[in-house]
Amino acid sequence: MERKEEYPLAIIGAGPAGLSASIYASRYGVDHIVIGHLPGGQISETHEIDNYPGVDAAGGFEFAESLMAHARKFGAPIESRMVVGVRKEDGAFVLLLDGGSTVRCRALLLATGTKRRALGIPREDEFVGRGVSYCATCDGFFYRGKTVAVIGGSNSAAGAALYLSDIAAKVYLVYRGDELRAEAHTVNRLREKGNVSIILGTNVVSLSGTETLTSVTLDRPHDGSEALPVDGLFIEIGSDPSADFARDLGVETDESGFVKVSADMTTNVPGVFAAGDLTDGSAKFRQVVTAAAEGAIAARSIHAYLSRS
């Protein structure tokens, strides 16, 4: 479908929040476009989803493809493009896309989610793509039969370790806390894996290697040594809100950078709505089911807003 220059609604972000909003906007009869550089959002990089109602242990990529197909069924254009800027102009919002083209809209939904957090230790940037990764499902294939470490204690970290345990010969899960924060079901599955070792109360403080990563240094000795030989390091320590566009438009954020929304997903800027992991809604319980719910609520609110304006 050929893109128009102007739509009543533009949705930035093609994850569960943006695609859920698209489905509901279509059903409300709101002409709109979805623009997101990662089809399906970060959920497409998740190893497995088994906590979404009605979906039994689906792969993240397959789940994202299903979401995309459902949204496309209603006819809305979904573009895999980068939005590089947003501005207010003559009572409308103008989205600048990579390549220089623009899209205007009367209402804007920000569903840009979060960006993965870096560890912030020496040489981390140097080893990205040469031993350091932030996506197990993207890069795990390269470590078949090798030794890897995962940093973090959340569901994401535990899920990455589970995924890698079926590929790598040995997986270390290193967490600074005294107890993993992942769901008990996931932790139990990890403990049943014979090739997974969980190291608690420990930080990775430095990286070693020449052309590629060869070991990580722990701040507490493991097996009598601070150096842990690994071929790969997967960093799963959380994420930060992708709120640059929100700040550019004067949208209010909290002390952590998450967009403040009302129960109906409105922001302090008329015509700007937000949904999903980007927001402070749903008690910041950043799950697929809450992102989808916020997207649906936002679509209803946007329909009401456009009907009034």
- 278, 112 in Cβ contact below 8 A? yes
Helix and strand tally (H, E) in the chain?
Answer: 8, 17
In a domain, 279, yes or no: yes
Long-range contacts of 188-196 (CB under 8 A, 24+ apart): 189/162, 190/158, 190/161, 190/162, 190/165, 193/162, 193/165, 195/165, 195/168, 195/169, 195/170, 195/171, 196/161, 196/162, 196/165, 196/171, 196/172
Summarised one tens digit per residue, pLDDT across range 234-250 is: 999 988 999 999 999 99
pLDDT computed for residue 289 by the predictor: 93
Residue 105 falls in the annotated catalytic set: no
| Tokens encoding 147 | 């030794």
> Are 33 and 81 in the same domain?
yes
Q: Is residue 135 part of a domain?
A: yes
Check which CATH number belongs to the domain holding 190 and give it.
3.50.50.60
The rounded distance, in Å, linking the Cα atoms of 63 and 224 is 43
Look at residue 207 and tell me if it is in a domain: yes
* Rounded Cα–Cα distance for residues 63 and 57 (Å): 10
In this structure, is residue 39 part of a structural domain?
A: yes
Q: Which residue among 50, 98, 125, 138 is the active-site one?
A: 138
State yes or no: is 223 an active-site residue. no
Average pLDDT, the chain: 93
Other Cβ atoms less than 10 A from the Cβ of 71: the count is 23
Q: Are residues 105 and 28 in the same domain?
A: yes
Coil, helix or strand at residue 177 = coil
The two three-digit tokens of residue 122, written as one number: 């020496």
Q: Could you confirm whether 139 is annotated as catalytic?
A: yes
**What is the DSSP code (8-state) at residue 36?**
-
- Structurally, the chain folds into a number of domains equal to 2
Residues of the domain holding 52: 6-116+239-308
Structural domain contains residue 1: no
Domain end: 202, 235, 268, which one? 235
Question: For 64-119, what is each residue's pLDDT tens digit?
Answer: 999 999 999 998 999 999 999 999 999 999 999 998 999 999 999 999 999 989 99
Q: What is the pTM of this model?
A: 0.83
109 touches 86 (CB < 8 A): no
Looking at the fold, whether 103 and 148 belong to one and the same domain comes out as no
Residues lower than pLDDT 50 in the chain: none
Q: Are residues 106 and 32 in the same domain?
A: yes
